[in-house]
Structure 1
Amino acid sequence: MFEHFSWKEILTCSMVLFAVIDIIGSIPIIVSLKKKFGRIEAEKAAIVAGLLMIVFLFVGNKILNFIGVDVNSFAIAGAFVIFIIALEMILGVQIQRNTEATSASIVPIAFPLIAGAGTLTTTLSLKAEYHDINIIFGIVLNTIFVYVVLKSANWIERKLGTGTLKVVEKVFGIILLAISIKLFTANFAQLFQTYVHF
């Protein structure tokens, strides 16, 4: 497994997941949840979100095989989801995340705020392009970062300010848009070659 270890792949996977999770852009939501519930269980939320992503990375493929969908097709579908998330970030519109909070750890922070449909789809889409070990490291790095942000959300919001947070969100939105196009073209090319050979 470790023979496929690559810092370049880890960095790419980390950046993709960081942009999709958008924990920085979610700080205002986290702060409001903290005010509502008193405190946020950062450890539980981060661990559950990380485990959800890792489990889906391995089980997701089996689910796809069961329903007869190949990884490339799923990756293309994932590229569309990432594309929509990127548009949300750039244009400042909300297509998802309208979830009613019932607790301040697993729901709605671990799921769907961190490890939501977009993140899980992205995790599996990355599998079509990168090695598992590098995706796992990317997930772990993001889980650690999520934990740090959850622990210091109020401080980050005070230091950066709403304006800076919006700029960061839009920059990562553009990066995510480019990644979604790359993911689409790479997997579409592979699908096209498969059908041509048939």
Structure 2
Amino acid sequence: MIRICKAHTKAHLEGILDLQSKNLREVLSDEVQKEQGFLTVRHDCKVLEEMNNRLNHIIALDGEEVVGYALSMTPDLKDRIPVLEEMFERINNLEYKGSNLGKSNYYIMGQICIAEKYRGTGLFYALYNEHRKYYSPYFDHFITEVSASNQRSLRAHEKTGFKTILNYYDQTDSWYLILWDWNDQNETS
């Protein structure tokens, strides 16, 4: 039976890193990337733990095995992952609903991944719904970015309720900056 919960232990973090290592863009064929999606950022245990200490990651467990995760990242940790600096700069210079997005009450979805065997089972949405359950009382919205090459992920995020607020290029890729506004009554989940 699959259980969705907050990450609390070192074993949970190690399970996240293990699943992450199997789904990084650099280890997947072009065909698998196109069909199944991919991850861009490799986290180290120290940063992953620091992120989790601020705002617990949400994980899917089959027994004790991590079979899915959706990472949480607060803006104060933006310097811990250099490849995300451009995203935070964009957020800080973007207006959303007439206000500066960087000054709004938001957090970052640091990465989402579902083990291959569990894809298409609803875990993606279950992980995001847990984020909403736990964190919507404290935050107005949830922001992330998706590579333009990762259309499977972009479609899944859109089905969840994320809206594209900016498309931009940096030195690594073309990105969709997307936001799930929990206060917008027109949003779906």
| TM, length-normalised to structure 1 | 0.24
Higher RCO structure, 1 or 2 (CA under 8 Å, sep 6+): 1
Between Structure 1 and Structure 2, the one with more helix by share is: 1
Between Structure 1 and Structure 2, the one with more strand by share is: 2
Q: Flag the structure with larger Rg.
A: 1
| TM, length-normalised to structure 2 | 0.24
